[in-house]
Structure 1
Amino acid sequence: MTATARPDLYPTRVLGESVPQPRIDPTVWGNGPGPLSREQLERYESSGYLVLDGLLSDQEVKTYLAELQRLSEDPVLRASERVILEPEFDQLRSVFEVEKVSELFAELLRSPRLTDIARQVLDSEVYIHQSRVNYKPGFGGAPFHWHSDFETWHSEDGMRQPRAFSFSISLTENHPFNGPLMVMPGTHKSFIPTIGETPQNYHEESLRVASPSVGSPDQRHLTRMAEEHGIEQITGPAGSAVMFDSNLLHGSNGNLSPFARSNIFIVYNSVENTLEAPFAAPKPRPQHLSNREFPSASA
């Protein structure tokens, strides 16, 4: 008896030419009530992102900044695999799986003000696929190259469909000059395969370098997408947030200013979209990068 091949709706990490395909899944999966208005949902569906002003109070920002500092000074945490350092100097770039190392962050990530939005958009119960805090220090915080998160989560983690999205919550002001998030609005509606096989343990390279060797669309496709959709910078005060679709092309410049750009980053995935075997990698990434435990985010 011949085994049935597993369907791959979004093939990537190809050899040869990359041919973009239209997204076959929705961005907003349901039409039920929730915290977001119909206008906000329509804007998110169209652009692939939505800015939420004043998500955190000034006092909450101070509290979470202090927690960010505490984590950066924890020698045990710093020596763990959850911590990624800047490529050019010995400063923290990211701390992953923050709900496991901070009760304060765990409470925020599982709070209804975030999870109710996730349930509304994804039309199901949700769980935390990935979380981290990004430090992006002044005078040298490295850039993040253009990419679609879903392309990585599909190829390396085994996420079937783009039924997931991210929150980036600012703990410092996002200026045009300190490396804010950049997006190409509307690009979430096209899936762009990337070229090249995934190396063994590729996450050890991709999380530490400014321009990973695999996993970003080539310059030809990036140029065409930028010409068609434009590029927007997400700036704003501390306490604001942006939610963006898992397939939206995004990146950020390096930070040459004296002012850090620190944020909390959370990915919510539908419990109906839990991870399988990777679609284009030798083995799954570690648990702290791709959660394979599936309790509800609000548990």
Structure 2
Amino acid sequence: MSAPTPTTPTPVHGTVRDAADHYHRHGWCPAPFVFGEESVAALRSRVAALGRQERPEVVTELGSGTARAVHGCHTWDELCAALVRLPELVGLAEAILGREVYVYQFKVNFKPPREGAAWPWHQDYAFWSEEDGMPSPDAVNIAVALDDAHAGNGPLTLLPGTHRLGLLDLPERTTRSGHWRDHVSADLAYTVTPERAARLSAEHGTRALVGPAGSVHAFHPSIVHSSTDNLSDDRRALLLITYNAVDNAPPAPTRPAFLVARDTAAVRPLDDPRLTPRPLG
């Protein structure tokens, strides 16, 4: 792809323990493994097909029939179900959280060329706390890049260290925010104001999760993050698995099960020959 990538490389960590230590200090970490071309091609083909389906789990861009995101497909697609059980992914989540985990949420965010819209600055835990009643942010997002991510196609951008600040700019309300689509569209119900995000960016710096398809990163539910419009000719699809600690499950969620899993049984790792992460280095 022709678009440039930032000159500061993502640091590489040799072990899962190194990655977990980096995560707790900075609110994010690169995984010590990546997915190869065959695994990425299998996932890319599958989620593209899923995004063409007409069902509630598929959210489209505003004013367009183009898929913006697909939710919860690990419950109705066997390849996605296999992905969430891979020992490398489960092991990273358990190393970060220090206990058994289950899949709280699964989604693929698409950024179609020249069309994929931005996600405003926000914290994921705002939704999980305020809407679902998740007791604490003892969960972790694991992001798998299905396309090359570069500065021009709207990469996920984090503000390192902001996971320690708690929830910011929550609106004062006594009821939940409304329809679940307010939580998955460009017009999010819970955001960090642009003014605060600018101050935090100046204080903490930014980290764009750029890199080749197959790259894997983890980030904290409370870290402030966003992404810009895709202004390039390259699609940017990002697959996100949220693992939650089994003892941190919301007691009575009301949003759809494809946004908030009801099955809180611990994931039992299982290899799959179609999906083979390989160590970095």
TM-score range, shorter chain: 0.7 to 0.9
Measured in 2, the distance between the counterparts of 1:183 and 1:190 equals 14
Q: Residue in 2 aligned with 1:202?
A: 179
Q: Which amino acid aligns with 1:65?
A: R
2:111–2:236 CA contact under 8 A, matched in 1: yes
- Aligned to 1:120, which of 90, 95, 113? 95
How far has the Cα of 1:52 moved from its partner? 2.5
SS of residue paired to 2:34: coil
- Report the counterpart of residue 262 of structure 2 in structure 1: 292
TM-score normalised to the size of structure 1?
A: 0.80
Q: Is contact 2:15-2:32 (8 Å) kept?
A: no
Matched with 1:66 is 45
5 Å-filtered alignment, 1:12-161, equals 36-37=16-17, 39-52=18-31, 54-74=33-53, 78=54, 80-161=55-136
Task: Tell me how far apart the structure 2 counterparts of residues 277 and 142 of structure 1 sit (CA, whole Å).
Answer: 32
TM-score, reference length from structure 2: 0.85
Matched, 1:261 2:239: no
2:205 and 2:184 map into 1 onto residues whose CA distance is 26
Q: How far apart in 2 are the matches of 1:273 and 1:244?
A: 17
Q: Which amino acid aligns with 2:45?
A: A
* d(CA) in 2 for partners of 1:263, 1:223: 25
Distance 1:72 1:292 in 2: 23
C-alpha separation in 2, matches of 1:35 and 1:234: 19
Q: 2:198 corresponds to which residue?
A: 223
* Higher deviation after alignment, 171-180 or 51-60: 51-60
The answer as to whether partners of 1:54 and 1:239 remain within 8 angstroms in 2 is no
Match of 2:249 in 1: 274
How far 1:264 sits from its partner (Å)? 1.2
Which amino acid is 1:203 matched to?
W
CA spacing shift, 1:56–1:133, aligned 2, 3 Å: same
SS of 2:231's partner is coil
Letter in 1 for 2:242: V
Residues 70-107 of structure 1: CA distance to partner in whole angstroms, max 9, x if unpaired?
21333xxx2x2111001131100111011112111110
* Structure 2 gap segments, 5+ residues each: 1-13, 270-281
Query: Number of aligned pairs?
Result: 254
* Alignment CA distance shift 1:249-1:166 (3 Å): same
Separation in 1, partners of 2:223, 2:177: 26
Alpha-carbon offset, residue 224 of structure 1: 2.2
By how many angstroms is 1:220 displaced?
A: 3.4
Structure 1: unaligned runs, 5 residues or longer? 1-33, 279-283
Whole-angstrom CA distance in 1 between matches of 2:184 and 2:52: 21
Q: CA deviation at 1:290?
A: 0.9
Q: CA RMSD in A?
A: 1.9
- Counterpart of 1:221 in 2: which secondary structure? helix
Among all aligned residue pairs of Structure 1 and Structure 2, give the percentage whose two residues are the same amino acid. 30
Query: What SS does the aligned partner of 1:67 have?
Result: helix
Q: 1:230 to 1:88 in 2, by over 3 A?
A: farther
Which residue identity is paired with 1:206?
H
Task: Please say if residues 180 and 253 of structure 1, whose CA atoms lie closer than 8 Å, have aligned partners that are also in contact.
Answer: yes
